Structure 1
C-alpha cells in the first residue's frame, strides 16, 4: 500500500500555517471581546444645528434639518491595535458627516450603520476615550430615538453585542438631555412636561363623586336612564343568556373575574335573548342592545348575538369597584356609532408574542372594539408561516448578522447581532388559527395585512434566498416562480426607512402575482380552518416612493432654495423606473407611468381577491391614490385607512376619499397613532413626526367625524394653533382605528404601555358621539384660539367624567387582566417648603422619596409633607405592583 509522507520541512511549514491561522482567529476574537466591553455614551449637542452654523442643506439633509451628536467610546483594559474590525449600530437618523479622521461611518441598510477604522487609525489604548462628532439628519429629542444593541465584528469571530448598549433602557447609554435639546426647532412652542407643568395641567381635573359614578358605563351608551336604588351583587350573578355560544360564555366568565364577580346560582339573575324584529332603536345595526336592570333581575335584549354580548359587557362595566360590588338600576338603549372600531398592531418591525396579542384582543372586546388590523409583514420582518414558502419564516422572520442575507435579515431597530429578542419571531399556522378563534369568540374580525408593493423587503430577501437555493439545485423554474425582483432593475431608490430597491416587490412580474395569490390562498385556508372566513384583506400600499425625490430635497444642478437639502437628483429613480418589465407595461399602455404602478397592482390584487370571495380590500390611502375612485377595484367594498395629518391638510383631503366611494377609516397619526409619545418629555418613548404628544385626553377630545373641529381643541406638531375648513361634501366616516407601529417598541410590556390606556378613549369616540362634537358643516371655519364653535366647558365636564371612570374602575380591571398599562407620572411642585402633587386620574397612589434615598412614602393631599431640597415622586397602581417612572422636583 502506497503511503503519503510529509517531509520535516513540510511538517514545519504546516504547523506554522496552522499556528498563524489559530493566532489570527484568536486575535479576531480578542478584538471582538475588547470592543464588546467598550462603554458607549451618546450626547445630544444641538437639535437645531442648522440654526447654529452648520450648513445642513449642503450636507443633503431633508428640509435642511440636522442635529449634532457626540459619540464617546471608552475602551476597557485591552488595547485595540488591529484595524480589522467594525462596530455596527442602529440609527434611525441618516449620518451626514463624521469628523474624526481615524474612523469612517458607512450606511449599510435601513437603520444599520457601521464604524470602521481609516488609514489614519492609530489604535485605541487601554481606557482611552474616543469621540466621534456626528452630524445627523432631522432631530433626536427623545431617548427612544437611540436604538440599543451595538455589536462588534472582526474577521471570522462571532459578532458580539456591546454590553453597555445591550439593554432596553436607552438612558443607560444616552447622556441626560440638556433643557435646550428637547425642542425640534427653535420655534417649537410645545409645552415641556415637567413635574410643575404637569401639576398645573392636572389641576383642571374635577373628579366625580361616588354618587355621580352610579351607572357609568364605558364606552358611553347612546341613551341611559338611571333609577333609584342599587342592586347588591356580593353573591355573584346567575346568567341565563340564550343564544350565546359556549366560547362566548367562557369569555364573559373571564370578564366577570376582572370586575371581581363570579357566577353563582344564588346570585343576581341576568337574562338575555336576541329579538331582532322587536327592537326599539332606530336604524338597527349589529351590536345594538337594550339593558334593563331592576332590583329583581336584569334583562338584555340583543339585536343579534353581538348585541347580546355587548349588553352583557355594559352590565359588567356598570358594576361598582366598591368593597361590596353593586350596580345601579337603569335602562340602557345602545348601538355603535361606527361600523368599524379598530386597533392596528404592527408585529413586522418588531415581533410581539401571541400572549400579548390575545390580551389586546380580549380587552378590545370589553370596550366593544371589533376590528383587529394585524400588520404581519414589513421591511424588517415576515411574521406568519406559509408552509409552501418556508423561506419567509426561515429567513424573513429572523434578524442576525449575515451580510449575504441568505439565513436571516440584517439587524434593525436595536435587535443586535443575534436573533434572541423580539427582532425575530413569527406566528405558526396553529398560532394564527388560535388567534382567529380567540377573536371570533369576542366578536372581533381579524384583518391580515401583507404590506406591498413597498415595505416588502422581508418578502423580497426571503424569496431571493429561495431563488438562490433552488437555482443551485438546478430547479430554474421553481426558482423563478415566486421571485419578487426584476434582475434588470438597476433603479437607485431610497425608501422612507432608508432601504434600497429591495424594499419594493416588483408589481410588473408574473411571479409577484403568483406570490400574492399563494399567500392569499394560504391565509384563506387558515381562516377556513378556524371557522372564520376571510372577509377583509389589507393590501398595505403605503409609501411606494423614493424619499430622495420628495419636496424636502432640491437638485444641486438647479436653482438653489433656502430650507431644502441639496442632492444630485439626477441619479435618483422612482421605484421600478429601470425595470424592463415595468417599462414594457408602460410602453404597451397598460399603465400610464411609474407613479401609477402601485394602484395598478392594487387593482390586480383586488381582482384576485374578488375571485376568491373576499368582499373587502383595505389599504393605506396613498396606495390607491392614482385610481379614479373605488369602482376601479373589483371587490364589493374598498376601504382606506386615512392617515394624512390634519394640520397638513388632512381636514380637507379626507373628504376626497369619502366622495370617491371609499369606506374611510380615520387613522390620523397626529391623534390615533399610539407609537407617538404620551407627552412632550425626552423620557417618553415614541416617534414624533406627526405630533409631539398624544395623551388620553387628546384622543378623547378628537372629533373623528368633523375633522375641521379639531383645530379648536388641539395644536400642530410645533405646538401652534391652526385653522381648518373644508368646503366639500362629507358623506361621513366608516370607522376609527388606533395604530401602534413598532419601530421603537421592542417588548410586550412596551406594547401595552403604548396602547393602554389610550385604547379606552379610542373606544369611546368610536362608539359614542359626545354632545360637544359638532356636525360637519361645509364651509365652517375653525380657527384655533379664535373661533368658539366647540363648547369647551362641555368637553371639560365630559373628560372629568371619563377620567374618573378610567381611574376608579378601568385601571384596576386592567391590572386584574395582567395588562401593563402606562401609569401616569405625577405632577408636583414645592411651594413654601410643602410638596404638592397630583395625578391625571383618581384612584392611583402617589409616593415620594426625599433626596437621594429610595425610601418611598405615601403622599396625602390632605396632609402634604414639608420637604427640603429635591424630592422624587412617582405613582403606583391600586394593587401596588407597578409604578410610573420617577420625576425629580426641586424648590424654585
Structure 2
C-alpha cells in the first residue's frame, strides 16, 4: 500500500467507494473528502499489528476455559495515533468479551463477527515509535489460529466513510505451554510427529503392481493377460448423442501422439448386463480390438471414460500401454455430492468450473451450490437489484443500507474479491450448462429463515428507498418486521438475520426468487428438480416478540413458534410446488423441536413425512449421533452430510497452525474413509449405543447418498479451498460410489482390523502413487494438502513415514526447511542435528514440515 498522506489516500479510496463492484443499480454512497488536518495523525499504512495468544485459563467461573490474547500495536509513522477520534475495526470468528480494557480502551461488538476498539476517556494516544499492548479475552478456549482477529482497518471520526486497511499484520506462533494448555476442557492435545508416525503406520507401502488401478473402487474387475499399446491417439467412434463424451475421450490422451492412428475407442449407450443403475458402465480393453465403453446412459459412458483415465500410464511413463481387462461398474448411491459455500467468501465462475471438473473426475454427480447466507447473496435476481448491489458487496460504510459490513477479514474495501462478488444470470447459466455436460446436477441453495441477513438488509434498504420516493408498493418484498423486539443471537452472533413469516411480503419475496431461479434453468435448458431451502440454525428467541409473527400465530391458531415454523415451510413448499420443483433443506426441515425429560430433542416432524422433502443431515454431534437414522426410519429421504466425517472446513488436527475450524471435531483423511453409511454408530461404545436408534431396512431405502461439505469462513483464496477439500473429497467419492468394504461387514474385530489395513493401504497407495501424481502433472493445478511426515525416534535412528506411501520425502539436518533439492529420505535417518522433513509433489511443491531436535 502507498505511504501517501491519509487525506490524499482517503480521497482516492472514497472515489473508488462511490462506484464499487456490483453497485450500478443501487444508490451510490455519498462521498466526502477527508479533512486535511488528518495529516497530523498516524496513517494506517504505517501502523503495525501483531497478535499473540497469551494463555489459556481455567477457573471456577470458566471450567472449560477462556483465552487471554494480546494485540501489539506499533506506530511507525512520524505522527501520533491520537488520544481520541478513531476506531480500529476487525473480524473475529470466535466470541470476544466486549467492554472496557486496560489502558482506557473499549472493545465493542458492532454486529456478528465485526468488532472495534475505541479509545476511552484517559487514553493517551500512541506516539511515533511507541508500542502499545492491548489485552482482551475470548469467552471460550482458543485452539486454532483461525480464531485470531483478521481484516484490521482504521477509521477516523473526522472521515467516517473512510476505512483504511492495516496491511502490516501477523500472527505470532503458538508454541508456549500456557498457549497449548487444554486443561480438563476435553479438547484434544496437539499432534506430535510421533503421533503422526503411529497413525501413518496403519498402512503399508505397496509395490506398483499391487496398487488398486481405479478410484473409486469398481464393482467388478476381470484382468486379462495381454497389453494394448498406445503409440497414437485412439480413433474414437461415438454417436452424435455422445459428443460431450467423445470430446472428453480426445482430451484424455497426450496431444503429442499422432491423431486418430491408435487403437479403436468405441463409445455407446446400451445395456450393461446385471446393472439397473442408469450410471452403470462396462469398460473392455483388448489388445486386438481396442477399447469399448458401454453405458446404460451417457453418464455411464462418461464414468467409464474417467475410469479409463485412471488406468492410463502417467505422463512420462516408460511404457505407454494398457493392461487387458473388463470392468463392470455402477454406483452404490444415486446421490454423490459436494457442497461449495460461495456466500461467506466468494469464489468465482472459473473456480466453480474447476471443481465441477474434479467432481466429474471422481464420479460425483450433485453440486450443492450454497449461494446465500448472512454475509453474502451471490446470485443475480431480476427485479431485485439490491440483492447483489447491496447483498453481494462487503466493505466499510458509515451509514446502513449501502453495503454489508466486512466479514471474515474482507476489510473496508468493497472491491475485495472474496468479500464482494456475485454470479450474473449469464454466469449461472454457464455453470448450469457446464455441469450438465459433466452429468452433474446443480442444486441451488437459498438459505432461510435464518442466515438471511444479506437479503434482510438489502430488502430493507430497498423498502426505505422506495418509501422515500413515495412508492405505495415499497414493502412488497420487505423481509423483517420493523417493530420486532425479539432477542436472539445466531450461531454467527447476529441479532437481525431472520426473515419473518408474519409478513406476506416474505412469501412474495420467496415466490419471486424461486420463479427467477426456475426461469434461469429454463433459459439454460437444464432441468431444475429441487431447490435447497435451508432451514439451518434458526436462533432460539426469533419471532417471539414480533407483532407481525404474533398476529400470524393468532390468525392461524398456532400455539408456539415451532408451529409457526411448520406454517412457514408449509407455505414455502406450496410455492415450490406451484413452480414445479420439490423442497429440500437441512435436517431441521424434517425435524420438530420438542423436549424430553426437560431437555431439547429433535424428532421426525410428522407434518411433512408425505411431502417428498429431502433433508441433508449434518448433525451427528454428541447426543444426536442417530438423528439421521431416526429421520430415515421416520420416512424422510435424507442425504448424509455428517459434520464429524464430511465437513471439509474442519481442520485435519488440533495443531494451531493447521487450517480450518474446529467447532465440532477434526476430520483427517481416514476420518472420511472410515465412515460407514448404514452403520453410523459403529464407533460408539456399547453404553453410548444403548439408547440410540439403528437404521432399519425401511430407513436404508430413504438414504439417497452422501455429501462432502465446504463452508468457507476461513477460505479466502483458491489455494485454501484446494488444501481443505483434497484429497479428502476422494475418500468421500470412494464411500459414495463403492460398496461397503469387507472390513465394515466383518464382525470379528481382529479380522476386521486386518481387512481394514489391507483396504486402507490400497486406498492411500493409489492416492500417493497414482491419483495425486496425475493431478500434479495436469492443469489447472490442485494445491491439495500434503500432510506432514511422521517421525519416530528408534534408538539411534529416526523413522520417517507418510500418510501417502510412495510420496517423495526430503530432509535437512541444519534446521532449514527442506526444498526440492534437499536429500531424499531413503530409509531411517541417522544424522544428528535439527532434522526437518517434508513431502513433495511431482512438481516439487512442499507440504507441511515435521521436525525433531537430535543435536
Q: TM-score, normalised by structure 1?
A: 0.85
CA gap of 1:266–1:196, structure 2 versus 1, over 3 A, is same
Q: For 2:774, what is the secondary structure of its paired residue?
A: helix
Residues in 2 aligned to 1:623 and 1:89: alpha-carbon distance in whole angstroms: 34
Residues in 2 aligned to 1:674 and 1:294: alpha-carbon distance in whole angstroms: 40
Q: Is the 8 A contact 1:606 1:634 kept in 2?
A: no
Tell me by how many angstroms 1:685 deviates: 1.0
Q: Is the 8 A contact 1:701 1:795 kept in 2?
A: no
The 5-angstrom pairing of residues 430-829 of structure 1 reads: 430-477=426-473, 479-500=474-495, 502-546=496-540, 574-614=541-581, 616-626=582-592, 632-633=607-608, 637-650=612-625, 652-691=626-665, 693-711=666-684, 725-726=692-693, 729-730=696-697, 731-732=699-700, 733-772=703-742, 774=744, 788=749, 791-815=752-776, 816-817=778-779, 818-829=781-792
Q: For 1:107, what is the secondary structure of its paired residue?
A: strand
Q: For 1:543, what is the secondary structure of its paired residue?
A: coil
Residues in 2 aligned to 1:183 and 1:230: alpha-carbon distance in whole angstroms: 59
Which of 316, 328, 337 aligns to 2:332? It is 337
Tell me by how many angstroms 1:727 deviates: 5.0
Which of 416, 420, 423 aligns to 1:424? It is 420
Which of 38, 52, 55 aligns to 2:61? It is 55
Tell me by how many angstroms 1:184 deviates: 4.7
Q: For 2:721, what is the secondary structure of its paired residue?
A: helix
Q: Is the 8 A contact 2:590 2:631 kept in 1?
A: no
Residues in 2 aligned to 1:204 and 1:799: alpha-carbon distance in whole angstroms: 8
Tell me by how many angstroms 1:30 deviates: 4.6
Residues in 2 aligned to 1:389 and 1:174: alpha-carbon distance in whole angstroms: 45
Residues in 1 aligned to 2:322 and 2:257: alpha-carbon distance in whole angstroms: 14
Tell me by how many angstroms 1:94 deviates: 1.8
CA gap of 1:634–1:485, structure 2 versus 1, over 3 A, is farther
Tell me by how many angstroms 1:631 deviates: 7.7
Tell me by how many angstroms 1:584 deviates: 1.4
Residues in 2 aligned to 1:728 and 1:888: alpha-carbon distance in whole angstroms: 45
Which of 184, 187, 198 aligns to 1:186? It is 184
Q: Deviations over 1:435-464 (max 9, x none)?
A: 100000000000000100100000001111
CA gap of 1:243–1:602, structure 2 versus 1, over 3 A, is farther
Q: Is the 8 A contact 1:348 1:382 kept in 2?
A: yes
Q: Is the 8 A contact 2:486 2:543 kept in 1?
A: yes
Tell me by how many angstroms 1:105 deviates: 0.4
Q: Is the 8 A contact 1:148 1:414 kept in 2?
A: yes
The residue that corresponds to 1:558 in the other structure is none
Q: Deviations over 1:51-110 (max 9, x none)?
A: 2x36238xxxxxx65222222222324322340000011112222255414100000011
Q: Deviations over 1:113-158 (max 9, x none)?
A: 0100111212222322322222212222111222422110002432
Tell me by how many angstroms 1:824 deviates: 2.0
Tell me by how many angstroms 1:405 deviates: 3.0
Q: Is the 8 A contact 1:31 1:82 kept in 2?
A: no
Residues in 1 aligned to 2:392 and 2:406: alpha-carbon distance in whole angstroms: 11
Does residue 280 of structure 2 align to residue 288 of structure 1?
A: yes
The residue that corresponds to 2:600 in the other structure is none
The residue that corresponds to 2:229 in the other structure is 232
Q: Is the 8 A contact 1:224 1:333 kept in 2?
A: yes
The residue that corresponds to 1:562 in the other structure is none
Residues in 1 aligned to 2:846 and 2:714: alpha-carbon distance in whole angstroms: 21
Residues in 2 aligned to 1:81 and 1:474: alpha-carbon distance in whole angstroms: 44
Tell me by how many angstroms 1:398 deviates: 0.6
Which of 13, 28, 51 aligns to 1:42? It is 51
CA gap of 1:789–1:736, structure 2 versus 1, over 3 A, is farther
Q: Return 5+ residue gaps in structure 1 as ranges.
A: 1-21, 58-63, 166-171, 547-573, 714-719, 777-781
Q: Is the 8 A contact 1:221 1:334 kept in 2?
A: yes
The 5-angstrom pairing of residues 109-188 of structure 1 reads: 109-157=111-159, 158-165=162-169, 172-182=170-180, 184-186=182-184, 188=186
Q: Is the 8 A contact 1:464 1:483 kept in 2?
A: yes
The CA RMSD measured in Å over matched residues stands at 2.8
Q: Deviations over 1:552-607 (max 9, x none)?
A: xxxxxxxxxxxxxxxxxxxxxx1011111210121123533112333322221111
Tell me by how many angstroms 1:517 deviates: 0.9
The residue that corresponds to 1:309 in the other structure is 302
Q: Is the 8 A contact 1:365 1:442 kept in 2?
A: yes
Q: For 1:503, what is the secondary structure of its paired residue?
A: coil
Does residue 345 of structure 2 align to residue 350 of structure 1?
A: yes
Residues in 2 aligned to 1:830 and 1:788: alpha-carbon distance in whole angstroms: 30
Tell me by how many angstroms 1:182 deviates: 3.8
Q: Is the 8 A contact 1:67 1:135 kept in 2?
A: yes
Aligned length: 801
The residue that corresponds to 1:840 in the other structure is 803
Q: For 1:743, what is the secondary structure of its paired residue?
A: coil
The residue that corresponds to 2:81 in the other structure is 80
CA gap of 1:600–1:432, structure 2 versus 1, over 3 A, is same
CA gap of 1:635–1:316, structure 2 versus 1, over 3 A, is farther
Tell me by how many angstroms 1:174 deviates: 3.3
Residues in 1 aligned to 2:758 and 2:428: alpha-carbon distance in whole angstroms: 43
Tell me by how many angstroms 1:540 deviates: 0.5
Q: Is the 8 A contact 1:830 1:890 kept in 2?
A: no
Q: Return 5+ residue gaps in structure 2 as ranges.
A: 1-31, 594-602
Residues in 2 aligned to 1:588 and 1:775: alpha-carbon distance in whole angstroms: 54
Q: TM-score, normalised by structure 2?
A: 0.88
Tell me by how many angstroms 1:216 deviates: 1.4
Moved more, 447-456 or 604-613: 604-613
CA gap of 1:261–1:596, structure 2 versus 1, over 3 A, is farther
Tell me by how many angstroms 1:725 deviates: 4.8
Tell me by how many angstroms 1:415 deviates: 0.8
The residue that corresponds to 2:366 in the other structure is 371
The residue that corresponds to 1:61 in the other structure is none
Residues in 2 aligned to 1:591 and 1:323: alpha-carbon distance in whole angstroms: 73
